[in-house]
Structure 1
Amino acid sequence: MRNNPYQKYKNAQYETASQEQLLMMLINGTIKFSRQAKSALETKDIEIANNKLKRVQAIINELMVTLDMEKGGDIAENLYNLYEYINRRLIQANIRKDLEIVEEVLELLQDLKDGFEDAIIKLKKLNPAKNV
């Protein structure tokens, strides 16, 4: 596995990505793993559901610790509160094996993704020199 070309490609993607691209990769990961958890819960595969929900939690935790609370002001605080809420709901979903909670989280994550996409578009319009 050491010379796996796919893994080398994925690593290069992460290493060369902009902050915005990394953020979108993380958000897309939360959506992907949440969908997989939902599917696993639907088929009663508790172990896979548990693993996927924990992966979403890990990404959300990473997003929480990387927020710049000083520079981000109210936006960072609101994002932190949203991440914290999502994390609590993920824990509840995992403990209860509750499909409805996972669906709620998926909606929140999709809304978050849509918001980030809109913000990135607006930033690129404000500063076209930084477009990659």
Structure 2
Amino acid sequence: MNNYINGYNAYKNNSVNYASKEQLLLMLLDGAVKYSKIGKQAIIDGDVKKRHENLVKTQDIFYELIISLDRSTNLEWIDGLAGVYEFINSRLMEANIKCDVAIMDEVIPLIEDIRNMWYEAHKISSKQK
């Protein structure tokens, strides 16, 4: 069993270490969807620790996405995207403080839309190469 776990951990490390920027972005967004859904379920279940940990993980992902935006190109579009990411973070913080499932019901589809948008952009970009 330990060999399996060690092999899996090595695979995960290599997949991150050798991933392209685009693949890392998609991994982050997949994580944001996952952690936001876990956070929502934790609100429903009344699990304070799990709620907080997962909503903060989701926020951390969006902070990282804001920081990593390339502001040297098409500044207006980038500023708009940063605004959406900041809106998501503020709503996640509010959901965490208020333990509000309705806010999560608002935010999760937005996070999924962003993930889907980047997947589509990656697919189109891959075909053009």
- Report if TM-score (shorter chain) is over 0.5: yes
Return the alpha-carbon distance in structure 2 between the equivalents of residues 33 and 74 of structure 1. Answer: 29
In 1, distance between residues paired with 2:74 and 2:65?
13
Matches within 5 A, 1:17-32: 17-32=19-34
Q: Does 1:42 pair with 2:44?
A: yes
Task: Give the structure 2 partner of residue 130 of structure 1.
Answer: none
- Alpha-carbon displacement from aligned partner over 1:77-107 (angstroms, at most 9, x marks no partner): 1110000000100110011011111121111
> Aligned partners of 2:112 and 2:9: how far apart in 1?
27
Aligned length: 126
The structural deviation recorded for 1:72 is 4.1
2:72 corresponds to which residue?
Answer: 70
1:15 matches 2:17: yes
Following superposition, the deviation at residue 50 of structure 1 comes to 0.7
Determine what percentage of the aligned residue pairs are the same residue.
35
What residue number does 1:58 align with? Answer: 60
CA distance in 1, matches of 2:74, 2:23: 19
State the superposition RMSD in angstroms.
1.5
- d(CA) in 2 for partners of 1:120 and 1:74? 21
Partner of 1:89: 91
Q: Secondary structure at the match of 1:69?
A: coil
Stretch deviating more after TM superposition (99-108 or 66-75) = 66-75
1:123 corresponding residue in structure 2: 125
Instruction: Return the TM-score normalized by structure 1.
Output: 0.89
Q: Once superposed, which parts of structure 1, at least 4 consecutive aligned residues long, lie more than 3 Å away?
A: none
> Normalization by structure 2: what TM-score?
0.91
Is 81-90 or 5-14 further displaced after alignment? 5-14
Q: Distance in 2 between matches of 1:57 and 1:124?
A: 28
Stretches of structure 2 that go unaligned for 5 or more consecutive residues are none
User: Does 1:114 find its partner at 2:119?
Assistant: no
